[in-house]
Homo-oligomer: A and B are copies of this chain.
Amino acid sequence: MQEARPQRIDQRSPAQLRGLSLTPDFTAAALGSVLIATGRTRVLCTASLEPRTPKWLAHGGWITAEYAMLPGATSPRGRREASGRSKEIQRLIGRSLRAGVDLAKLVGPDGGLSIVCDCDVIEADGGTRTAAVTGAWVALEIALRKLVASDRLATHPGLGPVAAVSVGIVAPGGADGAEADPVAMLDLCYEEDSRAHVDLNVVMRGGRPGALSPDGRPGLVEVQGTGERGDFSRAQLDRMLDLAEAGIVELMAAQQAALNQVGV
C-alpha cells in the first residue's frame, strides 16, 4: 500500500535511476567525448592525449581527471576557481578510471601515453561526481579504441567498464511537509541529496566480456559514505550497496549501448 503514493519528489521509486542519456562524440577536438545527462545533471566529458607522462612515472602510461563546474551550472551562480571539493572529486574520478585500465599496457610506439579526462558540469542537479565517472569512462574508452585503431596502442589496455552512482538514506517528503521515515534511495537529485541522512558514492568495475568474475557481479572500486545527520548502521550500509550495485549494472548497459553507436 505504501508504494501506492509517490515516494520521491520526481515520482521515482526508491530503486529507480533518473532518466539517462549518453551522447558520444559530442565534441570533435578531443580524442574521445561524451555528454552524459542523468535527470537535469549534465556533464561534458572529454578524453585528450597528452604528449608526456608525469615525471615520477617510471614505466607504463597514466590517466588523470579534472573536474569543474561551469559557474552557470547552478543557481545561484558558482565561482570559477577550483575549490577543495573539486580537487577531491577529480582525484576520485582519476583513481576510478585508472582502476579500469592496465596502465602497464598504456604504452605506444614512442613510450608511455598520458590521457586527461576533463569533466565539466554544464548543469548540476546532484550526482555530478558519479555522472562524471560514468561519462568519463565512455570518453576514455572511445579514446582507447581510437588509439588501437590507429596503431598507437598495440592492444586495448581495458580491464572492464567503470561506472558510479550515488545512494542515500533520505526521508521522503510527504504532501503535508512532514518527513516520513528515511529509506534507502538510488541516484539522488540535489533536493534529495541536501535532505539525506547518509550520502554514499559507489564506483564499481564490471567484468570484461568473456572474463567475468566467478559470480558475474561487478566489483567495488570506491566506496565513500558520509553520515550527514549523525551515524548509520551496517544494515543501512548494506541496503545502500545493494541499490548501488543494481543501478550500476543498468548504467553499464547504457555505457555499452552508447559505445555501440560509435564507429570505432
Contacts and interface: CB of A to CB of B under 8 A. Distances in A.
Interface stretch (A11-19, A149-157, A226-234, A249-257): A226-234
A55 interface: no
A95 B228 CA distance: 8
A5 interface: no
A48 to B, nearest CB: 4
A183 interface: no
A216 interface: no
Contact of A227 (B42, B44, B48, B219): B219
Interface string A193-223: 0000000100011000000000000111111
Size bracket of the A interface = 35 or more
Nearest to A232: B220
Contacts of A233: 219-220
A70 interface: yes
A44 B122 contact: yes
User: Top 10 closest A-B pairs, CB basis?
Assistant: A219-B231, A46-B72, A48-B77, A84-B87, A30-B72, A88-B88, A223-B225, A29-B75, A27-B123, A205-B231
